[in-house]
Copies of this chain bind each other. A is one copy, B any other.
Amino acid sequence: MKHYLHINNVENLQKTVEEAIELKKNELEFSELGKGKTICLLFFNNSLRTRLSTQKAAQNLGLNVVVMNFGSEGWQLEYEDGVVMNQDKAEHIKEAAKVIAQYCDIVAIRAFASLTDKEKDRAEIVLESFKKLAGIPVVNMESATGHPMQALADAITMEEYKVAEKPKVVLSWAPHPRALPHAVANSFVEMMQLQNADFVITHPEGYELDEEITKNSKIEYNQKKAFENADFVYVKNWSSFKNYGKVDNTDENWMINGDKMAVTNSAKFMHCLPVRRNVVVADEVIDSENSVVIEQANNRTYSAQIVLKRILEDM
């Protein structure tokens, strides 16, 4: 693997998931693989799971880890060509990306959507700039439009908990007070399109994700109907894509509760976290024995580790 920017950068998803599960059993098996090499984790946004799990994964592989919070420890970058840089941006990505690349062997980046400029967000300017300029492997730790490290952890988790060869999987929107990005939902959809599953997306009308991503994935506007006989219920809020970045709907009736889970096939409850209890999901669901959110978060270490392992092997 050269870069890990998109779930499609994984050549064989099923095989990768199985290898990650093997790795989990003996996480220090390849602790010499990264020796003498350095990974830089660049955070343009806050993070908990990604910050800790990626460091853990990198250290399990023997990599040196350098963490930088661009906002508080660095300065603003310019991404446009030809600009007269006399405002608040102190450095151009052309220099920053090339320079950073010289101090490390792999660079992992978190750079959220603006949620104000759809086309800019879709252009994935931060990630694509590093990919174009850095000349070293670039890893997506959640970008404007995708979170493939989460999607891979989700695939690992579903492999561990699935009871049917072709499970029914529902991605459900849920309400949230703030405008959240589409990245997690997008990557989950893209990952599901690679799986042998009966996959349904449910959300209020008007909350359609980017059609270029959802393609022919089935959409069911009736949440309860979508949940019927589901084996996995994956919940996530996102802001409107059509009315870009806006919170048009906070309908409490879309919160996941026990009544809704009751019509499923004892579905596993999944969420990428952090989650707002009793807004996105009722305590009774997230605290139930069918909730696998903690195990899902744990698999973030192994999705990062299998990705970094593949990258190291191909260097």
Contact = CB atoms under 8 A, between A and B. Distances in A.
Copies in the complex: 3
B278 A91 contact: no
A28 B105 CA distance: 14
Interface string A89-111: 11110111011101110000000
A67 B283 CA distance: 30
Contact of A84 (B56, B90, B279, B286): B279
A74 B48 contact: yes
A99 B36 contact: no
Contacts of A283: 81-82
A31 interface: yes
A102 B276 contact: no
A49 interface: yes
A43 interface: yes
Scoring A87, A277, A279, A294 by chain B CB atoms within 10 A of each residue's CB, the highest score goes to A277
A114 interface: no
A73 interface: yes
A297 B91 CA distance: 13
Contact of A276 (B51, B59, B68, B86): B86
B48 A68 contact: yes
13 contacts: A38-B59, A46-B72, A48-B91, A48-B100, A49-B103, A51-B73, A52-B103, A75-B274, A84-B277, A85-B278, A91-B274, A94-B277, A96-B274
